[in-house]
Structure 1
Amino acid sequence: MSLYLYAILQAESLDLIKNLDLKGMNTQPVQFHSLPPFAIVYSESQQDRYLASRANLIAHETVLESLMKAIDPHQAVPLPLQFGLVVDEWEEVQRDLLIPYESKLKDLINNLIGKREVSVKLFWNQTEELNLAVAENEGLRQRREALVGKILSMDEAIAIGQELEAAIEQRQQIIVEAFINTLKPLSHDYAEGELLTESMIYNGSFLIDWDKEPEFAASVEDLDKQFENRLRIRYNDFTSPYNFVKFERE
């Protein structure tokens, strides 16, 4: 029997979730296995490998979010494990993870108790921002207007292109720095992610005190007003703390 793993808990946390009824991957019952000082959240695996399909990702994340909702975050925190982690036996978990990294796992748990990860993703309309950049820069506007209807040389095309690119990059930098400078001081830790689409200009995650989320959200709203609602902001205040459970394997 293979085992699909979702998260690591403190062994004493099992009393907080012993009556939790969950279905995980392949609608298998979620179970808890004690390997003191830890406990593993798992279900019986029906496959050797799991594709990162939308349905599978949602099933995995639903288990983690249900655990987070069931446990008082000031008492315990489930450490999320990577999607698709399947093992053959508990000895493998002990040998490769719990024993060699016991101290680091305990430190991670202690660091996360009473905290939560929130994420902020920023999107804009690049064409609209470019038009605003030109409108606000008289010199750039005049140079651009002077080229309208003219057959440009290679050097002229490159020069105006570079100037427009610099203008749009400066606008992006101003926005991103405003968000980081405002939100980072409200957090204990910070991680910046990849830009996932052409319209995304910022992707950041913050580790904040659980009870201070309303204050953090209000700051995000103030920043939205500061930039006159030009941005589309995707704010997630309840997510597994993937960005803050990483450590280098020896």
Structure 2
Amino acid sequence: MAFYLYALLPETVRPWLGEPLTGLDGAPVHLQSLAPFLVAYSEAKQTRYLASRANLLGHEKVLETLMQRLEPHRVVPLPLQFGLVVEDWESPCQELIEGRKDGLLAALARLAGKREVGVKILWNREEELQRLLAANAPLQQQRNALMGKILTVEEAIAVGQVLEAALEERQQEIIDRFLAVLQPLSHEMVTGELLTETMLYNGAFLIDLEKEPAFAEAVEQLDVEFGRQYRIRYNNYTAPYNFVSLAEP
């Protein structure tokens, strides 16, 4: 029998988890003791799990349910990467725990009473460029002077560089404003990769559970401050992937 792993938990949480959870392939989620931890797992019906939408959502659902049930006790599970399947309990004990038990216990203590939230800002670069031109007369005049003119390769590159630099400067201004407001409300933050051309910013913040309403309100006020010109995706409930590292010691 193979096992699909979801998260590491402290041994003390067993009485708090309540009714059984359902994991991938409809299999019930169980707890395996790997002292001083518990591993949340279900029986693996496949040797390899594709990162399909259904599988990813199923994995996240287990983590979210664990978080919800443990939140009153201010315990946060340490999430394991998607698709982790093991054939026995000896290998995860060696690979996950041996040599870094103290680090994992410290991570559980550091995350206690906290939550990861995510902020993504999306924009339309062409619309933003038009706003920049409207607010910057010299830049607009420079661009207008070249409209209808056959440009050399060097001139075209130079114009493109000027406009791109203006967009990059504006992007950094927006990011700086968001961070000036949101960073003081968090313990830690991580800047993520920009996943699309329309993504202006992608960040994760580790905040106190009780500060989430204030953080959400701050995001809303920033949206208002910028005239709702940008699309803001705020995820207020996610496993703390960005603040846990289970890499080899």
Normalising by structure 1, we get a TM-score of 0.96
Give the equivalent residue in structure 1 for 2:15: 15
Give the equivalent residue in structure 1 for 2:3: 3
Give the equivalent residue in structure 2 for 1:227: 226
Q: CA deviation at 1:21?
A: 2.1
Q: CA deviation at 1:247?
A: 4.8
Structure 1: 4+ residue segments shifted above 3 A: none
Instruction: Give the 5 Å matches for 1:68-217.
Output: 68-217=67-216
Paired residues in the alignment total 249
Q: Distance in 1 between matches of 2:238 and 2:33?
A: 25
SS of residue matched to 1:94: helix
Are the equivalent residues in 2 in contact too, given 1:9–1:79 (CA < 8 A)?
yes
Q: Distance in 2 between matches of 1:36 and 1:15?
A: 16
Q: Distance in 2 between matches of 1:183 and 1:90?
A: 42
**Cα deviation digits, residues 213-240 of structure 1 (max 9, x gap):** 1111111111112211111000000001
Determine what percentage of the aligned residue pairs are the same residue: 53
Q: CA deviation at 1:35?
A: 2.0
Q: Distance in 2 between matches of 1:192 and 1:74?
A: 29
Q: Distance in 1 between matches of 2:119 and 2:164?
A: 24
Q: CA deviation at 1:73?
A: 4.8
Q: Distance in 2 between matches of 1:28 and 1:170?
A: 51
Q: CA deviation at 1:23?
A: 1.3
Q: Distance in 1 between matches of 2:74 and 2:189?
A: 23
Are the equivalent residues in 2 in contact too, given 1:25–1:43 (CA < 8 A)?
yes
SS of residue matched to 1:198: coil
**Cα deviation digits, residues 66-108 of structure 1 (max 9, x gap):** 1111113543221110000011111112111122211011011
Are the equivalent residues in 2 in contact too, given 1:224–1:231 (CA < 8 A)?
yes
Q: Distance in 2 between matches of 1:185 and 1:211?
A: 15
**Change in CA separation of 1:87 and 1:248 when aligned onto 2, cut-off 3 Å:** closer
Q: Please, which runs of 5 or more residues in structure 1 have no aligned partner?
A: none
CA RMSD of aligned residues (A): 1.1
Are the equivalent residues in 2 in contact too, given 1:2–1:44 (CA < 8 A)?
yes
SS of residue matched to 2:196: coil
Q: Which amino acid aligns with 1:204?
A: G
Normalising by structure 2, we get a TM-score of 0.97
